[in-house]
Amino acid sequence: MEFYYACARAGIVAVPLNWRLSDRELAYILNHSESIGLMAGEEYLDTAKRLRPELNRVRYYISMDKPIDGMKDYEQLLAESSSEPHQGPRDENALFILMYTGGTTGLPKGVMLSNRNILTAALGCLLAMASGGDKNKDSTLMILPLFHIAFWPVLVMHYIGAKAVLSKKFDLGYVLETIQREKVTHVNMVPTIAAFLLMFKDLDKYDLSSLRSITYAGAPMPFELLMKLKERFPNLELGQGYGLTEAAPTVALLDQFDHNKTETEKDRKRLTSAGREALNCEVRVVNEKGEDVKPGEIGEIIVRGANVMLGYWKNPELTAETLRHGWLHTNDMATVDDESYIYIVDRKHDMIISGGENVYPREVEEIIYKHPAVLECAVVGAPDSVWGEAVKAVVVLKKEQTATEKEIMDLCKKHLAGYKKPKSVEFVESLPKTPIGKILRREIREKYWKGKERKI
């Protein structure tokens, strides 16, 4: 966070690196971004050493945690530098961070975000969370990686002069002990972490009385899981955010007031929505003609506001395709209701076309999550000689629990149209995920399409 703030102040562009990427991918990002400096923590010094011969522009190598030959020492650099406030560029629209994000195909693309983009989105989150905030008591525990756009909780707390606790590892025991020790009031997570939290056998051993709110994002929260979370933590304020890196990230919010309404079927259905447009932007759901869809119709989410990216680094064609007529086209498909709540259906590229019918994986996954033995699932399209694509479910079961393919398929048959029901179910030990815990349908799907052409 010191590095991010220093870059914004000095007019330097930050390029955060995902430590889970391969050396080839890291070298690509460093070269493609034309980075001239590389900072590495102690755990990644060997990686930096391996990358060095591949980097054609990097001149400055900085070790963040300890002195090492061939690299500048971070603490020594600070000690040798002036303590006077830097009086460099203060252009709010200047490029601040170049955040590389994976696409459905090809190499990572660099999302250009300005100072104004980041602060606008963070302010939208702050306003949504502002329920009696106290800078002397409030704090967030950052358990998601700081190289991801999900670092907004730190900015929100710093906005009001409150504390951010940064965790360098994710282990539930460590996380719960840190909440207890630091009297943390807020944690942002993804649904996968919430599922693991509720199953943690030592959960009751920790004093979590300081915790007042949990926010979640990165993927929709299955309704059954959300109900279990509310039951286990009845006094917590819950909030959901929907967004994407290109919007820095805030687009829509389902706030604590929405989460507290469960009396009617309409209230409960809204808990499966992404909420309504955030205060920092305008959001529409449009058809292929650019017209707002009517309630129940499916369209693409588009966004306009000061949080929307400047474009993609060195990719004017993709920028022009994504930013059209002043709107960011997200590729996320959704419906709306009569009060403008947005219901994410799926990514355009995740949609399954089986026998000419469109099947949206999330709808099928929601039904599969109703089975008490299911921990995680992903629904993808697998090649089929008759239907083109067949609906396939890939399922992870809870420890020491069982389920059969027939049980899963019968459950779906009971709640879904016949063409949406999985044609097969595969049980696996784990599912591939992003660093923030979002299930990677693309990687799962590629296993079945290897050597075949998928047309969608």
Q: For the chain, report the end-to-end CA distance as a whole number of angstroms.
A: 41
> Does residue 433 form part of some domain?
yes
Angstrom distance (rounded) from CA 430 to CA 426: 11
Alpha helices in 233-384 (DSSP H): 256-259, 265-270, 316-322, 361-368
> Does residue 455 form part of some domain?
no
Number of independent structural domains in the chain = 3
Q: Are residues 141 and 28 in the same domain?
A: no
State the pLDDT at residue 377.
95
**pLDDT tens sequence across 10-19:** 889 999 998 8
Query: 112 and 248 in contact (C-beta within 8 Å)?
Result: no
Q: Are residues 319 and 238 in the same domain?
A: yes
Residue that the structure tokens 């019968």 belong to: 410
Mean pLDDT, the chain, whole residue set? 90
Last residue of a domain, one of 51, 66, 89: 89
Assigned token pair, 389: 């694509």
Q: For residue 3, is pLDDT > 70?
A: yes
What is the domain range of residue 402? 353-449
Query: 124 and 279 in contact (C-beta within 8 Å)?
Result: yes
Q: Are residues 188 and 255 in the same domain?
A: yes
Provide DSSP, 32-79: HTT--EEEE-GGGHHHHHHHGGG-SS--EEEESSS-BTTBEEHHHHHH
Residue that the structure tokens 């303590």 belong to: 83
Q: Are residues 215 and 225 in the same domain?
A: yes
The single-letter code of the amino acid at 405 is E
**pLDDT tens sequence across 348-396:** 678 787 876 778 788 899 899 999 999 999 999 998 877 778 999 999 9
Characterize the bridge pairing of strands 109-114 and 95-101: antiparallel
Q: Are residues 84 and 96 in the same domain?
A: no
* Burial (CB count <10 Å: 0-12, 13-18, 19+), residue 438: middle
State the pLDDT at residue 105.
41
State the pLDDT at residue 88.
62
Characterize the bridge pairing of strands 37-40 and 388-397: unpaired
Enumerate residues 6+ apart whose C-beta is below 8 A from 92: 114, 115, 116, 119
Q: Are residues 95 and 203 in the same domain?
A: yes
The helix/strand/coil state of 258 is: helix
**pLDDT tens sequence across 232-277:** 999 999 999 999 999 999 999 999 999 999 899 999 999 989 999 9
**pLDDT tens sequence across 172-211:** 999 999 999 999 999 999 887 898 899 899 999 999 999 9
Q: In degrees rounded to 5, what are phi and psi of residue 313?
A: -60, 125
**Quick one: pLDDT band at residue 138, thresholds 50, 70, 90?**
very high
| Rounded mean pLDDT, 87-116 | 82
Q: Are residues 443 and 393 in the same domain?
A: yes
**pLDDT tens sequence across 202-218:** 999 999 999 999 999 87
SS3 percent helix, strand, coil of the chain, rounded to 5, is 35, 25, 40
> Does residue 266 form part of some domain?
yes
Angstrom distance (rounded) from CA 41 to CA 255: 36
Last residue of a domain, one of 89, 108, 141: 89
Angstrom distance (rounded) from CA 207 to CA 367: 34
Q: For residue 455, is pLDDT > 90?
A: no
Q: How many residues does the chain have?
A: 456
| Long-range contacts of residues 368-373, Cβ cutoff 8 Å, at least 24 apart | 368/393, 368/395, 368/408, 368/411, 368/412, 369/222, 369/223, 369/224, 369/225, 370/224, 370/411, 370/415, 371/403, 371/407, 371/408, 371/411, 372/401, 373/397, 373/398, 373/401, 373/402, 373/403
Q: Are residues 83 and 95 in the same domain?
A: no
Q: Are residues 48 and 76 in the same domain?
A: yes
**pLDDT tens sequence across 413-424:** 998 878 889 999
Query: 1 and 154 in contact (C-beta within 8 Å)?
Result: yes
**pLDDT tens sequence across 275-302:** 999 999 999 999 999 999 999 899 999 9
Q: For residue 4, is pLDDT > 70?
A: yes
Q: For residue 39, is pLDDT > 50?
A: yes
State the pLDDT at residue 384.
84
> Does residue 261 form part of some domain?
yes
* DSSP conformation class of 1: -
Query: 293 and 335 in contact (C-beta within 8 Å)?
Result: yes
Q: Are residues 246 and 362 in the same domain?
A: no
The helix/strand/coil state of 246 is: helix
Helices (H) and strands (E) in the chain, counts: 15, 23
CA 295 to centroid of chain Cα atoms: 26
**H-run or E-run covering 312:** strand 311-312
Higher pLDDT, 120 or 217: 120
Q: For residue 447, is pLDDT > 50?
A: yes
Q: For residue 404, is pLDDT > 90?
A: yes
Angstrom distance (rounded) from CA 356 to CA 349: 15
Q: For residue 28, is pLDDT > 60?
A: yes
> Does residue 454 form part of some domain?
no
CATH number where 270 lies: 3.40.50.12780
Angstrom distance (rounded) from CA 405 to CA 407: 5
CATH number where 386 lies: 3.30.300.30
Q: For residue 106, is pLDDT > 60?
A: no
The pTM (predicted TM-score) of the whole model is: 0.81
Characterize the bridge pairing of strands 311-312 and 299-304: unpaired
Last residue of a domain, one of 46, 63, 89: 89
Query: 63 and 55 in contact (C-beta within 8 Å)?
Result: no
The helix/strand/coil state of 433 is: strand
Angstrom distance (rounded) from CA 128 to CA 253: 8
Query: 122 and 159 in contact (C-beta within 8 Å)?
Result: yes
Q: Looking at the DSSP assignment, which residues form a beta bridge with residue 112? A: 98, 311
Higher pLDDT, 149 or 385: 149
State the pLDDT at residue 103.
46
Angstrom distance (rounded) from CA 326 to CA 269: 32
> Does residue 285 form part of some domain?
yes
CB atoms within 10 A of CB 125: 26
Assigned token pair, 403: 């389920």
Q: Are residues 139 and 45 in the same domain?
A: no
State the pLDDT at residue 220.
67
Q: Are residues 80 and 125 in the same domain?
A: no
> Does residue 312 form part of some domain?
yes
What letters, b where the CB count within 10 A reaches 16 and e where it falls short, cover 426-437? ebeeebebbbbb
> Does residue 456 form part of some domain?
no
**pLDDT tens sequence across 293-330:** 999 899 999 999 999 999 999 999 999 999 999 999 99
State the pLDDT at residue 406.
95
State the pLDDT at residue 132.
55
Query: 301 and 283 in contact (C-beta within 8 Å)?
Result: yes
**Quick one: pLDDT band at residue 454, thresholds 50, 70, 90?**
low
